[in-house]
Each structure stands twice: as structure tokens, then as C-alpha cells.
Amino acid sequence: MRGPPELVARLTRVEGWEHFERCRDDGAGLILLPIHGQFSRLFRPYLRHRGHDCLAVGIPNEKLEARGFATSGAKRFELARQMHAAKHLLGRGGIACNVPDARQNLDNSRWVEFFGRRRQLAAGFAELALKTGARVVPIAYRFSPRGFFVLEFGTPFRVPGSEATHDERVASLVEQYASFLREEWRRYPWNIHWNQLRHYCLLPEVDPVSRPAQALPQ
């Protein structure tokens, strides 16, 4: 984790880099949406190696407290400040990253069905995208059984047109992230962080009568 970006780049194979490049062609801002995984933090050193800085938006409670934000009000203010900074950066064509599958600070979130359970996903990225016109791309950084890392850039999210309400547009963006997250859990279960698994097991179950539950990854 503390190695130089050059080491990370040498050990990383990239999939979907064309999605990243296409989103940078017209000068619009770009919001990258990682998922929590064993090695997910390494995507930022890789991007730095390629010459791209990324502003992180959102921070766990323990890190907020380590920085001196002790009260809930102070934490909300700091998170709002980060969102404000990201809004201006994206308006100038910069890159921001946000992790919607966080387990904390979910005041602005949406419920989704997730392998038979009800899960909250942060919706701040969707609000940012709609306010700034930024592109949205999900990413995953995982370890390969062949002994190297894989950085995957997913297909850019589709934004519903003006015929949809604001609420419907936010819901659509959150659901697209949920679909990407479900597929990662289904295909690469070894990359799921233990804290995420424990969080999943504590989530309320979906009523099987109202909606069939998805099978867990095997």
C-alpha cells in the first residue's frame, strides 16, 4: 500500500481504459465510483502514475474524528465542504471519486435490493453529477488469481433525459451503481472486504413476497 505509483502500475492490468479516455474528451468533469475491496485504495496511485489527480469525497467516521471533527454536526459540515469542493472541481473538468457502498454517513442515500437484503447506497454522487453535468464511471480494483491486480473501468452511466423527474434520475444512477456492485460480488467474491460481508449479514431481509431474492454468489 505504501509502494510508489510506479510499482502499482507495473503490477496492474487495466480493463475499460477507453471508457475513461472517452469521458475526458469533451472537458466535462468525471466522477469515479470505486467499490470497497481488499485493495481498492490502489486505484488512486495508479491514476497518479498516469497523470490524473482525483479528489476523494467522503471519509469514514474514525478518520473524521482523527482530524478533529468530534460531533455529528462537525462531521456533516466537513462532508458538505468536501461535496462543495467537488462541485467546483467537476465544473472545471476535474476528477472526483466517491464510494457509494460506504457503511456510514448515509443521510443522503437510497434503498436498493441487494442479494435478498435491503441496502442503503449513498446518493451524493448522483446529485453531483446532475448539478455539474459530470460523467459517472464505476471502477473496481481487485486481485487476480493469476498474481496481478486488475483495474476495471465500467461502462459510463446513462443519465435519463429531461422527461424524467429529478428523483427518478437520481434513482436511476444509484441503481446502475448497485448493478455494478452486485456483479462484482457475484463474480469476484474473494475481493469482498470482510467488513462489507459483516455489514451485509446485518442488513434487513427483503420480503420474498414483494420481490424475489437474488442468489448469493457461489
Question: Would the pLDDT of 82 be above 80?
Answer: no
CATH of domain 27-201: 3.40.50
Residue 59 has pLDDT above 90, yes or no: no
CB 153 within 8 A of CB 52: no
Nearest to 138 by CA among 80, 169, 177: 177
The answer to whether 37 and 192 have CB atoms below 8 angstroms apart is yes
pLDDT digits (tens, 9 = 90+) for 152-175: 999 999 999 889 999 999 999 999
> Rounded to an integer, what distance in angstroms lies between the CA atom of residue 182 and that of residue 36?
12
Q: Specify the range with the lowest mean pLDDT, choosing from 63-67, 109-113, 136-140.
A: 63-67
Helix ranges (DSSP H) in the chain: 5-10, 17-24, 43-49, 61-66, 72-91, 124-132, 166-187, 194-201
Q: Chain centroid to CA 102: how far?
A: 8
Q: What are the extents of the domains in the chain?
A: 27-201
